[in-house]
Structure 1
């Protein structure tokens, strides 16, 4: 069984990237599982515009091999009008080959997001990212009220559908302690689920 969980995200101003790093720390708590952190390039309405082959900062761009080799997938995006951001959707829309071959079928999957405001569409964005994972035959992993203090502790980000963060209108709010905790818990839950499942048939 492969022992890596792919943590794949798009981040415009760094908030979703920070959340991805906490998710990856959670994966690492479930040794021998490890996190492989990747991002997607931006998209542009200008057809001549392009991204460098290697990002200037942050995680490398995702490749097809990352999906083939992962034991689980956790994807994250900022909210765009209650939906995932276009760069992540653009990448997901390119996965017809992986869908046909069942690359992700039977593997655990989870989602996380960041929004500018507390009521900025976190849960609908998380759901929008779950839908393609379900179409790929993935097993969705969320957070639980009983184990993860969602009911009593959360006054910022955090939902049963996945980890989340409230970045503020300027995108400059740091992750709260509970947001970090929930992101790490999500990563750990996916990693432990992948370890129990072993390699999908």
Structure 2
């Protein structure tokens, strides 16, 4: 049972969540977990101007995703930062290349899940995940979120990302905040939950 975590991360926040998602998925017996990042579309010059070069270098060991990787997985967990309440352009471009998979029904019945990062508490985490679900539904995927059995998403004693639609983190306007332990726990929970459901579906 193969779980693919595929993401885009400009400053490393989504990358940290991706690693936690993978960690949780690996706790499920029989799960083979693979992490991939979608291709960058920004030039080296633009990345330097955005002060994102160091964060990109830190992710250099993660292989670049190919469309065929999606077809080879039983469950796919997608990670994207918010861009005005939607997925980032890099993820959109990658998904727009999956037309042949759609034509073949290659993702029908596979588990799909989403996680995200926003600069602020109300920076579009929920709308980004919900709008992402539209693409997964067009591919016939079985959507899995983050149930309230993860009690950490009901915490009110600290600022925290995440919702029933999927875990999220709040990066801060300058990227100064990194995922909290509660958010990382939510990511591990979501990864474990996705892998558990995928295991049941593949066994059936």
Q: What is the TM-score of this pair, normalised by structure 1? A: 0.88
Distance 2:148 2:202 in 1: 26
CA offset at residue 149 of structure 1? 3.3
Distance 2:200 2:137 in 1: 20
Q: Which residue of 2 aligns with 1:185?
A: 189
Of 2, 7, 10 in structure 2, the residue corresponding to residue 9 of structure 1 is 7
CA offset at residue 144 of structure 1? 1.4
The reply on whether 1:112 has 2:115 as its aligned counterpart is yes
Q: Indicate conservation of the 8 Å contact 2:153/2:161, yes or no.
A: no
CA offset at residue 199 of structure 1? 6.9
Q: Which residue of 2 aligns with 1:125?
A: 128
* Structure 1 runs, 4 residues or longer, greater than 4 Å off: none
The reply on whether 1:69 has 2:72 as its aligned counterpart is yes
RMSD of aligned Cα (Å): 1.8
Q: Which residue of 2 aligns with 1:48?
A: none
CA offset at residue 44 of structure 1? 4.5
What SS does the aligned partner of 1:74 have? strand
CA offset at residue 152 of structure 1? 3.5
User: For each residue in 1:51-96, what CA deviation from the matched residue of structure 2 results, as whole angstroms up to 9, or x when unmatched?
Assistant: xxxx861411112331121011110101111110000000101100
Distance 1:128 1:10 in 2: 16
Distance 2:150 2:185 in 1: 11
Distance 1:195 1:25 in 2: 16
Q: Which runs of 5+ in 2 are unaligned?
A: 44-55
Of 141, 166, 172 in structure 1, the residue corresponding to residue 170 of structure 2 is 166
Q: Which residue of 2 aligns with 1:27?
A: 25
Distance 1:109 1:189 in 2: 11
The reply on whether 1:42 has 2:40 as its aligned counterpart is yes
